Amino acid sequence: MVIHKTIFIICFLLLRIYAMGQQQKSKAIIMLDSMNVLYCGLANEISIKTVGIDAQRVQLVSSNGDKIVKDSSGKYIISPTWNSSNYHKSMVITTLVDKKPYDSSVYKLKFVPKPEPYFGKLKSGIVSIDEVLEQDTIYAKMPDYFPLEKHIKYNVTKYILVYTPHRKDPMFFSVVGSAISPQIKKALRDNIGEHCTIQISGIEALGPESIGQVRLESAVALTVK
């Protein structure tokens, strides 16, 4: 009798340990891809890691009502909007399992920074004659500090270039597109020399669909040495 009771207790304890282990294994964890914030107006990817929970039972909802959709690869996509409901610059994402709240996390909201302008490979500063003549295109690139800079591409659609040869009147060029036009190249070749200046401003660029057309806030200012 004592033996049977002992066996019963051991079996009971083993079942309890097994049940606790299974409960601990059943987890759904929210993981943001390559960042710890959400960017307004940008398609942010969110991965859900589930252990012991069927992924089909899992859903994500946002605190401000922004729709979270699941793509063909199984990742969730959210493009946060900036409105009065998230003026605290944060958003709560809640994980639902079988349509019931399971877990929630708070994430910072930020705006996507504007791209920075380049005269070919050159940023503002002092440059050589050869460096100026080598360039062919005006670029708009995301800042290096932005975590998704490699994934967001802009195409310059228009710009204004003012070229001032040393001790001569400035030349003005309004260009549609991103190429450094033949007229600009000829003006540079014919008049380039020390103390010439080049300024590119009024730059507009077309970004991803969720961002669209932007006007750059900064310009490029070059001085030829």
Q: Over the chain, what is the mean pLDDT?
A: 82
Domain of 97, CATH number, reads: 2.60.40.10
pTM: 0.70
Is the model's pLDDT at 18 over the cut of 50? Answer: no
Are 97 and 53 a contacting pair, CB within 8 Å? yes
Instruction: Answer with the one of 44, 76, 111 that is the final residue of a domain.
Output: 111
Asked whether residue 44 falls in the same domain as residue 94, the answer is: yes
Give the residue numbers spanning the domain of 88: 28-111
Query: What's residue 212's pLDDT?
Result: 86
Question: Is 22 a domain residue?
Answer: no
Same structural domain, 140 and 158? yes
Burial (CB count within 10 angstroms: exposed 0-12, middle 13-18, buried 19+), residue 10: exposed
Residue 224 has pLDDT above 90, yes or no: yes
pLDDT in the model for residue 31 = 62
Instruction: List Cα–Cα distances, 91 to 30, 53, 59, 113, 159, in angstroms.
Output: 14, 25, 16, 19, 37
**pLDDT recorded at residue 78:** 87
Residues 53 and 133 in one domain: no
H/E stretch holding 21 reads: helix 2-25
Q: Which of 111, 141, 176 is the last residue of a domain?
A: 111
Between these two residues, 218 and 80, which has the higher pLDDT value? 218
| Same domain (yes/no): 185, 100 | no
CA separation, residue 160 to residues 17, 58, 81, 143, 204 (Å): 72, 51, 32, 22, 10
